[in-house]
Amino acid sequence: MGVIELQSTGFASKLVVNLIFIFYSLCCILPVLLVLSISFTDENSIMADGYHLIPKVFSTYGYEYILSGTSTILNAYKVTIFVTLAGAFSSLLVTSLIAYALSRTEVKYRGQISFLIFFTILFNGGLAPYYILVTRYLHLKDTLLILILTALVSPVNIMIMRNFFKDVPSSIIESARIDGSGEFRTFFRIVLPVSTPVLATIGLFSSVAYWNDWFTCSLFIENTKLYNLQYLLQALMSNLDYLSTNAAASKSLENAMVVLPGESARMATCILAIGPIILLYPLLQKYFVKGLTLGAVKS
């Protein structure tokens, strides 16, 4: 009887936990489905009937408006994909090298270096000096390099990866050194292959940061051919807001009484922005949780 009661109690607790997570998952998924539905809903229907999970009047006008300059959108996608791939790879390389050095006890002044790195989480030089440094001294304005360098190193990512490297057995590294392996060979041939979880986790963080970055483009990019996707879509939404609130600014719109795809275009923008990057998580899911937990246990 005792075994049966324990089994029934365990089943009930698992059921409650599963129901809680199912409810939480629905709370996360339903807003995305609602955004997708609104993006395919006619603007007049939205104004008359509000939002619905299933479009009452199906329309692709929101996407047609956003994609009206197809070549510009495609070019922005190319810029964003290139910056995301190159930036995430470069960020992983630099972050892992710094974190590995800070995780080794034999490195002198690693405490002071760690302090200088993590100090930047709390304090920075300010926006004006940052802008002057990039434009006047580094001459990186209107270049793809500034889009990559901005998010190249994150102190938080260094901390997570450093704590993960601390769990790598020192005996393995010492054995490699005894066999004549240099530091770089040990790092690339021994340490990195066993660090897949944290590499996948930090890679996902970096990819999302690069993909969603529009502020850097708004500060330093004036050449329209170098606009990334997020900034271009934000500019399109600003133009749409201007036309919606200032109908007199466009006589053709005023005469034709055209209803601009306000809400549907905004939601279409969200879908276009999150669509590609959201596919990364299912590919990295099995490494994601492990990389976070192992990298956050020790300080």
User: Residue 174 has what pLDDT?
Assistant: 84
Asked whether 43 and 263 are in contact (CB, 8 A), the reply is yes
Structure tokens at 4: 């049966």
Q: Closest by alpha carbon to 223, among 132, 141, 135, 145?
A: 141
The amino acid occupying position 189 is R
More confident of the two residues 193 and 247? 193
The yes-or-no verdict on residue 248 having pLDDT over 50 is no
pLDDT of residue 195: 86
Q: What is the pLDDT of residue 201?
A: 85
Residues 6 or more apart whose CB falls under 8 angstroms from that of 299 comprise: 163
Strand partners, 41: 58
Task: Tell me which of 13 and 33 has the higher pLDDT.
Answer: 33
Q: Is the pLDDT of residue 186 over 70?
A: yes
Three-class DSSP labels, 46-109: HHHHCCCCCCCCECCHHHHHHHHHHHHHHHHHHHHHHHHHHHHHHHHHHHHHHHHHHHCCCCCC
Mean predicted confidence (pLDDT) in 86-96? 94
Q: What pLDDT was estimated at residue 289?
A: 59
State the pLDDT confidence band at 149, using cuts at 50, 70 and 90.
very high
